[in-house]
């Protein structure tokens, strides 16, 4: 099958999932065409059956804002026609589903080009609920030939907020369990904290919803009881405030801000716990990547996270903003080896049994066939 994928190519969950999906599809023999304004962050060049088509947006004095949506639609139609795409799969509703709808209409007299919209979270819970975007978001979702969401929570939100009556298929996020795997020795951990205890890790786009400063506060509590070092992976608007808070709390030497990393699968296994204190998560991809690596997540009881983590079994769930409770969980994990081993092994089992790519990708393939076949 020839599949066109459009996503935000930046450091965020929707773009990462879309990229990993494309890689997995290519490994299974499909031709995958990424249509974006930049090469996706985790997409290494030269991979067989992976093709990249850049969307160029011209800037004219007439336009106060470059019309990316229109340029994307035009490029989608062009790639679909030239490479005989079977369907478009767009990640994040705005503006990708609108562009896909336009591309479909452009080719309607020549051929059918169905498109699937995958909802990832803030396109529904934040952007989509903005009154400026609400009507167009609802319209684009309802015009999609197929709709998926990454959790049951997000499916319910879409129905409740937008009143969408279309079938929304829940296809969860996934992880390549052969790439994301435990490192029992954690020998390379000393490269990050040679004189300190066990590593903690946080991975995000450092947006306010991630509550990055809570990670610093959690660390400040943990180091009162046990030696630890926190790796902050990613970048965004909350990085500078977090760095300032680390200095204010006197824990700056216990934290390394690593910035954006293309290969987090090499870093996550070195940690003993993953911090995810988010205000809201529609799924919690970082937590899943940690679980696959045998790194127990200490997360918040929000959104779709309880669909992933069983509290006290393969990770921990606490209330948003309850730094003391989250710090207590982390402290237990870094001081009680028996507890850590038990939760770590359970986390890996959950990832392997429910969320490995070899279980989720065939679900996408069947859905593709269903959507494409519906027009025959």
pLDDT tens for 354-367 read 999 999 999 999 99
Shared domain check, 275 and 138:
no
The verdict on residue 181 lying in a domain is: no
Which residues are CB-neighbours of 237 under 8 A, at least 6 positions away?
A: 206, 207, 208
Based on the fold, state whether residues 238 and 115 are members of the same structural domain: no
Q: Are residues 367 and 323 in the same domain?
A: no
Q: Hunting for tokens 């279309």 — which residue is that?
A: 166
122 with 203, same domain: the answer is no
pLDDT tens-digit series, residues 116-125:
999 988 767 6
Same domain, 125 and 204: no
Predicted local confidence at residue 342, as pLDDT: 98
Q: What is the pLDDT of residues 282-309, one digit of tens each?
A: 999 999 999 999 999 999 999 999 999 9
Tell me the whole-structure pTM to 2 decimals: 0.93
CATH number at residue 315: 3.40.50.2000
Same structural domain, 198 and 66 = no
Question: Does residue 201 share a domain with residue 170?
Answer: no
| 253 domain residue, yes or no | yes
Span 312-341, average pLDDT? 98
Instruction: Please check whether residues 118 and 161 belong to one and the same domain.
Output: yes
Sheet strands (E) in the chain: 2-6, 31-36, 50-54, 87-91, 115-119, 146-149, 169-170, 198-203, 228-233, 255-259, 273-276, 297-300, 316-318
- Residue 375's pLDDT is 63
Question: Are 247 and 139 in a shared domain?
Answer: no
SS3 343: helix
Same domain, 44 and 59: yes
- Percent of the chain having pLDDT more than 90? 78
What is the model's pLDDT at position 130?
67
Domain interval for residue 367: 2-174+357-373
Give the integer Cα–Cα distance in Å for 316 and 330.
9
Tally of domains in the chain: 2
For residue 286, being part of any structural domain is answered with: yes
Residue 179 lies in a domain: no
Q: CA quadruple 22, 156, 285, 343: dihedral positive or negative?
A: negative
- Three-state DSSP string of 114-126: CEEEEECCHHHHC
Within this chain, do residues 274 and 226 fall inside the same structural domain, yes or no? yes
Mean pLDDT of all residues in 49-78: 87
Summarize pLDDT for 243-285 with one digit per residue, the tens: 999 999 999 999 999 999 988 999 999 999 999 999 999 999 9
Q: Does residue 199 sit in the same domain as residue 226? A: yes
Average pLDDT, stretch 73-84? 96
């Amino acid at each position: 099958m020839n599949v066109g994928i459009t996503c935000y190519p930046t450091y965020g969950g929707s773009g990462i999932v879309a990229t990993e999906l494309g890689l997995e599809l290519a490994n299974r023999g499909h031709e995958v065409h990424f249509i974006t304004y930049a090469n996706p962050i985790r997409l290494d060049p030269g991979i067989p059956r992976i093709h990249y088509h850049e969307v160029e947006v011209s800037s004219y004095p007439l336009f106060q804002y470059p019309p990316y949506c229109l340029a994307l639609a035009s490029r989608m139609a062009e790639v679909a026609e030239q490479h005989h795409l079977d369907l478009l799969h767009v990640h994040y509703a705005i503006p990708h589903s609108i562009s896909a709808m336009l591309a479909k209409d452009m080719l309607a007299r020549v051929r059918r080009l169905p498109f699937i919209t995958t909802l990832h979270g803030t396109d529904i819970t934040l952007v989509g609920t903005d009154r400026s975007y609400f009507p167009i978001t609802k319209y684009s979702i309802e015009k999609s030939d197929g709709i998926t969401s990454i959790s049951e929570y997000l499916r319910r939100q879409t129905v409740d907020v937008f009143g969408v009556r279309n079938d929304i298929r829940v296809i969860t996020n996934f992880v390549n369990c052969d790439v994301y795997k435990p490192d029992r020795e954690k020998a390379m951990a000393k490269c990050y904290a040679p004189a300190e205890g066990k590593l903690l890790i946080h991975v995000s786009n450092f947006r306010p919803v991630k509550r990055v400063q809570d990670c610093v506060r959690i660390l400040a509590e943990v180091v009162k009881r046990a030696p630890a070092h926190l790796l902050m992976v990613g970048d965004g608007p909350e990085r500078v405030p977090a760095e300032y808070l680390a200095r204010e709390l006197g824990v700056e030497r216990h934290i390394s801000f690593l910035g954006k990393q293309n290969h987090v699968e090499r870093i996550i296994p070195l940690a003993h716990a993953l911090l995810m204190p988010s205000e809201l998560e529609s799924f919690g991809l970082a937590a899943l990547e940690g679980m696959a690596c045998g790194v127990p997540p200490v997360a918040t009881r929000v959104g779709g996270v309880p669909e992933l983590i069983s509290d006290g079994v393969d990770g921990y769930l606490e209330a948003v903003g309850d730094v003391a409770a989250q710090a207590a969980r982390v402290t237990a994990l870094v001081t009680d080896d028996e507890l850590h081993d038990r939760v770590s092994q359970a986390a890996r089992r959950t990832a392997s049994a429910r969320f490995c790519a070899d279980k989720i990708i065939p679900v996408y393939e069947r859905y593709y066939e269903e959507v494409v076949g519906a027009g025959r």
